[in-house]
Amino acid sequence: MYRLKKLVFLFLMGFVSIPVLGQDATEIIKKMDDKMRGETLEAEITMTIVRPSWERSISMKSWSKGTEFSLILITAPARDEGTAYLKRGNEIWNWVPSVGRTIKMPPSMMMQSWMGSDFTNDDLVRESSVVIDYTHELAGEETVEGYECYKIEMTPKPDAPVVWDRVDVWVTKEEFMQMRTEFFDESGELVNVMQSSNVQTFDGRQIPSKMEMIPQDKEGHKTVLEYESMEFNEKIPDGFFSVQNMRRVE
């Protein structure tokens, strides 16, 4: 009788553990995302585009507020200085001072290259949400860059503004840092790998300061994103994220 009760208990626990694991995976992704966003974030970033025969760097300032607002301003090189990208709710805008034009970007442009890099417009402006637009499943535990990590498989929800068929993310157990991300297309082929390194403390948070996006079908191609500074939870009014301010922000 004792053995029978034990088997029934284990059988029931097997059913209970399925949603628990799913909830745990979502909570891990939420903590990872919250750590990189805060209530607000102001950052200075350098992006280096690497190709087999050349390199070029882009300097920028970035402001974001929750998941609704984001503004990126290019500060160098001189030919791109003043170019800005704005996300306000579901709208994405681009200001190009060299031609004096403000362009509203359609959703179809989200997966196009951002400034000629290996990051997409969506990677930088974040129209999609890793928390809201995906389901999450804990797929195992592995060590990445010396950190014990959870491996989580993310599958896009129906009708989510996402082109990837699956995204695998490695998140550290202690600080919930995103150390590695793999992007798969609808054929199950690995398209891009993003590797994180050089963990630093920004405004009291441990965060990888360097991220490399590496396309898997283009030898010698990669884009390196390096955070120079990050400030969290400073007050930024919603009005800061306006089409008018995008043209004059410094």
pLDDT of residue 46: 98
pLDDT of the residue at 4: 42
Separation between Cα atoms, residue 88 and residue 208, nearest integer Å:
27
What confidence category does residue 106 fall into, taking pLDDT thresholds of 50, 70 and 90? confident
Environment class of residue 129 by beta-carbon count within 10 Å: exposed (0-12), middle (13-18) or buried (19+)? Answer: middle
Residue carrying structure tokens 């969506």: 122
Rounded Cα–Cα distance for residues 122 and 112 (Å): 8
For the ranges 17-26, 54-63, 228-237, 239-248, the lowest mean pLDDT is seen at 17-26
- Provide the percentage of residues in the chain whose pLDDT is more than 70: 89
At 120, give phi and psi (nearest 5°). -95, 165
Domain boundaries, the chain: 22-246
Kindly calculate the radius of gyration of the chain based on its CA atoms and give it in whole angstroms.
20
* pLDDT value at 173 more than 80: yes
Beta bridge partners of 180: 170, 195
pLDDT for position 18: 40
The pTM for the full model equals 0.85
Q: Is residue 102 a contact partner of residue 94, using CB atoms and an 8 Å limit?
A: yes
> Is 22-246 assigned to CATH 2.50.20.10?
yes
The DSSP code for 157 is P
On the question of a cis peptide bond just before residue 19, with omega within 30 degrees of 0, the verdict is no
Is pLDDT at 248 greater than 60 in this prediction? yes
Rounded to whole angstroms, the Cα distance separating 77 from 57 reads 8
Q: In whole angstroms, what is the distance from residue 65 CA to residue 140 CA?
A: 32
Say whether pLDDT at 7 is over 90.
Answer: no
Q: What's the farthest any 2 CA atoms get from each other in the chain? A: 82
Cα(194)–Cα(184) distance, rounded to whole angstroms? 12
Q: What average pLDDT score do residues 16-42 get?
A: 79
Q: Give CA–CA dist 189/199, Å, rounded.
A: 29
Does the pLDDT at position 25 exceed 80?
yes
The one-letter amino acid at 134? Y
Average model confidence (pLDDT) across the chain: 88
The pLDDT, as a whole number, for residue 16 is 39
pLDDT of 111 reads: 75
